[in-house]
Structure 1
Amino acid sequence: MNAQGHSLPDALTLVFDGAGRATTVNDDSFPVWSPPDTGVGFAWQHLRLEAPATQSLLRASGLDEFVIDALMADETRPRCTVHGDGVILNLRGVNLLPDQLPEDMISVRMWLTEAKVIGVWRRPLDAVFDFLASIERGQGPRTPGDFVARMALRLADRAEPAITDLNERVDDLEEILLEPDADISRTELSAIRRSSIVLRGYLVPQRDALTTLEIEDLPWLQALDRSRLREASERIYRIGEDLAAVRERVQIIHDQLMDQRAERMNSRMLVLSVVSAVFLPLSLVAGVLGINVGGVPGASNPSAFWEVCVLLVVLGGVLLAVARWLGMFR
């Protein structure tokens, strides 16, 4: 599933039974929902940020203003903040919407407690649709910690094709660079470098947020939850390393491109230097013989002009030979 051609309701409320299965319930029942006596299971409510009823639903769930402001902020960065008995967790996913840049990442805002997860979304995200598809197959999360780990892994799954695309673009540029007189657009290099820097700028804090959640002393985080959170953070770490490698490869291509351009410029300057070295003495001789004063040699000799031309040719040949002997043509 993906965000293209699919839509989410303004409010989606699911109750998980602790065994991977979920049922949809009425949105108004979420504030009063509580886990059964066995303590197994939790509820998830996913709200659209701009929906008129979102703020009232958040207040009905008993959230204080600090949490509501964090969930409804205009701009967010990946972070994990423990607040009371719950956690504010912000993650980011690559933007795979049509005509959008992957680095224009989409936020995933969550409030986590032992029995409830509240999420707020502004734009549809493919990872959420993947998550819902797995729930429909009966492979949903069993605990809130498992919920976060699975969501983070879905975000990583959707990020990897974007990283692969960047690597392929760099591969193409490296092949072009092997060709003589390679012409690589610096605009393309800058675009790839910018994408890698922006993506890594969000994914590295995302790994830190997951690591922070893993080590927090929260009684409702089980050992298996912490293990899966560690796996998700390591997955994001590897993606961050791939992005760092892309940035370094782009820098190497840029350096090699500048070296090739410098070599071509040096070759042209060498030609100009040889030409100048050859013609400077010739110009001096011609200038001296061309002055309009008495005593110029050959002024009364009708064949002096041709003799001077032969002398200049011989002198030019000697200068070219000296330049070759000095290695100026290498």
Structure 2
Amino acid sequence: MSGFAFVVSRSGVRETTPEEAVRARRGFMWIHLTNRDDHVQLWLRDTAGLEHFVIDALTALETRPRCDQIDGGAVLNLRGKTQAAMQASDPLASVRLFANGDRVISVTRLPLDAIEVTRAAMAAGTILDAGDLIATLAGAITAQLDPEVAELGDSLDACEEQLDPRHAFDLRRKVNHARRTAIGYRRFLYPQRIALENLSSLHVRWLNDDDRLHIAGAADRAARMAEELEAIRERAALIHETLTDLRAELIDQRSLIIAIAAMVFLPLTFITGLFGMNVDGIPYAHHAGSFWVITGFSLAVAAAVTFYFVRRHWFR
């Protein structure tokens, strides 16, 4: 079973294994497990002594951000950035936590970037209790997602500056990518805001005022990102509609040019077809200058038709 653990005691912070942390039984401990092992549920039940409801919450395959109070503890599910390959509809990895005054047990299925940030802070000795740990983790998750959301907005700004029907294919691909990503992020950030707000208002002794302020700040940042993602989704839809309109306008312009060209050559086709018939009685059939007369007449007709369309402003 893979994972790590920290034990905070009077002698300082010590990194160890989950089994040794459970045997320590003194001080605050953080136990982190990777839920890819079949023995995780058994370990949580037999070694950690957790209830079935908590075990199910920590090892569920499908999760969404939530916060539930259990006696003096809390079960918390959050979503954060990961370097693992993810689907556009599910771009964030989950972390499940059970916290009380003496210990925090966290479980992930995929490597979470915020876990490494929290692990470094724990090793540096800046985390001393469960409130500090959860506040640090929540702050790291939102801090890592903020640049991702800002980058999506910047990509749409670039697309708006490059609006051109000739580049419609590439622009639509970029806009669709930004829209799918924004929808995937917003799917989790909105309930994550609610989960963090619920956590900051829990009546538990291991959350002090400073921890609640940090968690509330992370909730506020999550709310701001969710609003920004909603704006990105709407902007992406508007850009897509604009590209469609520009493309349709370009097609109309080209169709107009083709129609004008056809109208210019239509009388010319009639004239050349009439004088090109192989029948007796064609006027000027044996005249020496008939070819140039007909050519000049055709050019005059073409010029007259073109002048008519110019006067009607059909070329604009």
Deviations 1:242-274 (A, max 9, x none): 333443443444344334323322221121121
Checking the alignment, whether the CA contact within 8 Å between 2:268 and 2:302 is kept in structure 1 is yes
Checking the alignment, whether the CA contact within 8 Å between 1:176 and 1:184 is kept in structure 2 is no
Unpaired runs of at least 5, structure 1? 1-8, 36-40
* Aligned positions of 1:180-219 closer than 5 A: 181-182=166-167, 185=170, 186-218=172-204
Deviations 1:3-52 (A, max 9, x none): xxxxxx8243323459xx633466346557767xxxxx633221221245
- TM-score normalised by the chain length of structure 1: 0.79
**What RMSD over aligned residues (CA atoms) do the two structures have, in Å?**
3.3
Shift of 1:321: 0.7
**What is the aligned counterpart of 1:14 among 6, 22, 25?**
6
For 1:3, the equivalent position in structure 2 comes to: none
How many residue pairs were aligned?
A: 312
Shift of 1:149: 2.0
Alpha-carbon distance in 2 for matches of 1:100, 1:67: 26
Alpha-carbon distance in 2 for matches of 1:55, 1:146: 26
The code of the aligned residue for 2:97 comes to M
**Which one has the bigger helix percentage?**
2
Checking the alignment, whether the CA contact within 8 Å between 1:46 and 1:118 is kept in structure 2 is yes
Q: Does 1:82 align with 2:65?
A: no
Alpha-carbon distance in 2 for matches of 1:228, 1:141: 15
The code of the aligned residue for 1:14 comes to F
Checking the alignment, whether the CA contact within 8 Å between 2:2 and 2:33 is kept in structure 1 is yes
The code of the aligned residue for 1:314 comes to A
**What is the aligned counterpart of 1:154 among 127, 134, 140?**
140
The code of the aligned residue for 2:300 comes to V
Alpha-carbon distance in 1 for matches of 2:106, 2:163: 47
For 1:298, the equivalent position in structure 2 comes to: 283
Identity %: 32
Moved more, 283-292 or 125-134: 283-292
Checking the alignment, whether the CA contact within 8 Å between 1:177 and 1:184 is kept in structure 2 is no
After superposition, the Cα gap between the structure-2 partners of 1:184 and 1:175, relative to the gap in structure 1 and judged at 3 Å, is farther
Alpha-carbon distance in 1 for matches of 2:202, 2:279: 98
Moved more, 54-63 or 166-175: 166-175
